[in-house]
Chain A
């Protein structure tokens, strides 16, 4: 081989090398700066982290577990729970964030009222240890309790190892809530309406609203007295009697309607409190386990 051909090969190799480096450099510059995004998430700058994750550079890394995890965690922290779950659920089992992501995805679905999807998400998690199994069963038990399925709740609870410190308090709380749900007696709207018809305001007293009961009683009885006074002095057909009588009728009907509504409101309040307590006791163990 001549000198000319040797130098040609050298230059060819040189150009190939430069081309390769230029290509690999451009690949690096297109990557997400995940280390920095992780830093933003740790600082609580979730909007900023999401902005970078949604930028062109990061969208090229659609298969990256870290991208799904960081996006899901930022959305979870911003209370965008469904969007968060859509990302967290895509974290693969090879990722170090796999269990955390999938447990939080299930919790987010539960919090959003998508109980069936939450149950499916939990059943799809591959459990490795007894600790994870207990947490898994606790989450299942909580969802069954939210669905009002006390039989399945009892089944799931029986599989939990109470001695684990991350879940022991929530376990006791869920049992207490289930006992409370079993013994809870619903207030009857019919009874509230009936007794309000007899004594104005008593329906609200039956629902536990003392202040509203006193106000209703005074205003309705007051208008009744005003009407009676007008009737006694000016007769039935006077403007004064008709006006005060109309006001009294409105007040009386509103008192009965208010009693019915109050029963519905306190039942809704009770259900909301129970739901929030259950969610709280599902949230704390997964935070204790994965986010300390």
Chain B
């Protein structure tokens, strides 16, 4: 009897210890630990390992979600978007589904694709009736709408956000006034038209640069073009036709056309800076009031 028990124990232990099965949940726990330690590259590998050995679809989706967070934190937004796009959304719990879609929208917004982010946000709104989720997605939605200059829609969402906030009545009123001030004609950012900047420089060299906010550069460009034109005119006047043509007009051709192109580039740069400043202002209000 003792002998049977002894060999049974041996067989049982042999069975347990000789199994080299890799436990996927251990991989996930290990990956999550690395992620929390800020070791995003190694964590992304371990999440992939967990995906490789996992068979449960919601758990695979969870690993992919965390893997995308690793990429986002490493600044690899395109890889983060690809990872999120590769998740099968069928049969996932609502909480995870929301997180995946929210993250996808956020990564697209950060990757300068606000239109796709809005499309993903709309998908959340259509598929999810949970008021908390809709409220949570609203700040990102506002930033995206600001980026594509849909001010009225952004203002409506602000009002919705304030209405559903935990703020008391005087705070709500104060915030509404602040937001109205930002979104009225005076508060909204003024954008420069690159085409207009180029046309201005075409008629008066340097004026397009001044219109785009580069006063010093515009003035210098104006003086340079006028000086070269004056030189060419003087040379023609004193009957130095070749000098006037080749040196004067040849040089003017370069500075004049270059100035036109530069005016357009400066207008674009200025617009980007204005938009960034505006969104930073809006974001700081969100953080201050709602503790996001």
Contact = CB atoms under 8 A, between A and B. Distances in A.
B13 to A, nearest CB: 7
A36 B14 contact: no
B10 A17 contact: yes
Interface string A90-118: 00000000000000000000000000000
Contacts of A228: 242
B48 A48 contact: yes
Contact of B13 (A21, A28, A39): A21
B45 A229 contact: no
Interface of A: 10, 14, 17-18, 21, 25, 28, 33, 36, 39-40, 43, 45, 48, 51-52, 219, 222-223, 225-226, 228-230, 233, 240, 244
Interface residues of B, number: 26
A233 B20 contact: no
B17 A36 contact: no
B220 interface: no
A225 B242 contact: yes
Given A33-B49, A36-B48, A48-B45, 12 more contacts: A14-B6, A17-B14, A21-B14, A25-B17, A33-B22, A45-B45, A45-B48, A222-B246, A222-B250, A226-B240, A226-B246, A240-B243
Interface in B234-274: 239-243, 245-247, 250
A21 B242 contact: no
Contact of A222 (B10, B18, B48, B242): B242
A229 B41 CA distance: 70
Contacts of B13: 17-18, 21
Contacts of A225: 242, 246
Contacts of A39: 52
Nearest to B17: A21
Contact of B48 (A14, A28, A40, A240): A40
Contacts of A229: 240-243
Contacts of A21: 13-14, 17-18
A14 B13 CA distance: 10
Contacts of B239: 233
A52 B247 contact: no
Contact of B45 (A10, A52, A219): A52
B44 interface: yes
B45 A28 contact: no
A39 B243 CA distance: 70
Contact of A28 (B9, B20, B245, B246): B20
Contact of A233 (B41, B240, B250): B240
A178 B81 CA distance: 47
A246 B54 CA distance: 78
Interface string B122-148: 000000000000000000000000000
A53 to B, nearest CB: 12
Interface string B215-249: 00000000000000000000000011111011100
Contacts of B45: 40, 45, 48, 51-52
29 contacts: A10-B6, A14-B6, A14-B9, A17-B10, A17-B13, A21-B13, A21-B17, A25-B17, A28-B20, A33-B22, A36-B49, A39-B52, A40-B45, A40-B48, A48-B41, A48-B44, A48-B48, A51-B42, A219-B246, A222-B242, A222-B250, A225-B246, A226-B240, A226-B243, A226-B247, A229-B240, A230-B240, A240-B243, A244-B243
Nearest to B245: A222
B269 to A, nearest CB: 31
A51 B10 CA distance: 39
The 6 A-B pairs at the shortest CB distance, nearest first, are namely A222-B246, A225-B242, A21-B17, A229-B242, A226-B243, A226-B242
Contacts of A48: 41, 44-45, 48
A44 B61 CA distance: 20
A41 B276 CA distance: 40
Contacts of B20: 28
Contacts of A14: 6, 9-10
Contacts of A17: 10, 13-14
Nearest to B250: A222
A240 B49 CA distance: 77
Interface string B1-24: 000001001100110011010100
Contacts of B14: 17, 21
Most buried by A among B42, B48, B243: B243
